[in-house]
């Protein structure tokens, strides 16, 4: 018998001063049996960092991610079905990134874990030509601290200012410093 996903509920209050975005979002996330709390929380962080200010070009939605190799963790489609934004957490390979950049206007990657720097060192030269690709690295100690906020039901405040991120619940707060490895073009809504 296959293991079932764990359902997690999250209410996010986002105050992103870098993008003048202030919004509340209620999310239902399916945590795949192989997904760690660390990955789940980085996925939630990615939502907060890349959610559009309005739904003119569609909304950022959870996708199949781990369950389907043809889908990212999060995506945004406009009303015509065009793939506007593709968001992944982890360390995708060069072929996956090239395929994503061919399908979406904007591709955002949030790499985390102790091997993220090594992953990027081996990939940086090969993906430099890909248009619309932005890559951020979350230091391992910070992604692990973020995992400490995971719960079945979460109420989180996410504050972004000058590229720094604070995520807090009722009792704890985590300060994050995502490192820009490859910046998005300045015209993207999620560009920093």
- CB burial of residue 1 (10 Å; 0-12, 13-18, 19+): exposed
49 falls within a domain: yes
Here the CATH number for the domain that contains residue 61 is 3.10.640.10
- Is the pLDDT reported for residue 19 higher than 50? yes
151 falls within a domain: yes
Using H for helix, E for strand and C for coil, what is the string for the chain? Answer: CCCCCEEEEEEEEEEECCCCEEEEEEEEEEECCCCCHHHHHHHHHHHHHHCCCCCCCCCEEECCHHHCCCCCCEEEECCCCCEEEEEEECCCCHHHHHHHHHHCCEEEEEEECCCHHHHHHHHHHHHCCCCCEEEEEECHHHHHHHHCCCCCEEEEEEEEECCEEEEECCCCEEEECCEEEECCCCCCCCCC
159 falls within a domain: yes
| Mean pLDDT, the chain, whole residue set | 91
Region 75-86: what's the mean pLDDT?
Answer: 94
pTM of structure:
0.92
Region 16-27: what's the mean pLDDT?
Answer: 96
pLDDT on residue 30: 87
Residues 113, 143 contacting (CB under 8 angstroms): yes
Number of separate domains in the chain: 1
- Is the pLDDT reported for residue 13 higher than 70? yes
170 falls within a domain: yes
145 falls within a domain: yes
Domain range for 143 = 7-182
- Is the pLDDT reported for residue 83 higher than 50? yes
108 falls within a domain: yes
- Is the pLDDT reported for residue 124 higher than 90? yes
- For residue range 135-161, list pLDDT tens digits in order: 999 999 999 999 999 999 999 999 999
Nearest one of 128, 136, 78 to 101, comparing CA atoms: 128
171 falls within a domain: yes
- Is the pLDDT reported for residue 1 higher than 60? no
pLDDT on residue 12: 97
> Which residues, 6+ apart, have CB-to-CB distance to 26 below 8 Å?
9, 10, 11, 12
Nearest one of 112, 83, 111, 110 to 99, comparing CA atoms: 83
192 falls within a domain: no
pLDDT on residue 192: 40
Bridge partner residues of 87 (DSSP) = 74, 108
Residue 10 vs residue 65, higher pLDDT: 10
In degrees and rounded to multiples of 5, residue 93 shows phi and psi of: -85, 170
Residues 44, 29 contacting (CB under 8 angstroms): yes
pLDDT on residue 66: 64
């Amino acid at each position: 018998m296959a293991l079932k996903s764990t359902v997690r509920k999250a209410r996010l209050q986002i105050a992103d001063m870098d993008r003048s975005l202030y919004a509340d979002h209620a999310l239902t996330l399916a945590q795949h049996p192989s997904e760690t709390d660390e990955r789940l929380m980085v996925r939630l962080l990615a939502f907060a960092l890349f959610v559009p200010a309005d739904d003119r070009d569609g909304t950022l939605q959870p996708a199949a991610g781990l369950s389907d190799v043809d889908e990212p963790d999060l995506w945004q489609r406009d009303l015509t079905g065009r793939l506007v934004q593709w968001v992944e957490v982890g360390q995708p390979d060069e072929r996956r990134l090239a395929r994503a950049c061919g399908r979406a206007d904007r591709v955002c990657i949030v790499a985390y874990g102790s091997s993220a720097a090594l992953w990027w060192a081996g990939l940086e030269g090969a993906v430099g030509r890909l248009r619309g690709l932005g890559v951020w690295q979350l230091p391992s100690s910070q992604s692990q601290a973020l995992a400490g906020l995971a719960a079945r039901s979460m109420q989180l405040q996410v504050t972004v200012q000058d590229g720094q991120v604070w995520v807090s619940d009722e009792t704890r707060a985590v300060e994050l410093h995502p490192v820009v490895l490859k910046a998005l073009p300045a015209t993207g809504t999620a560009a920093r």
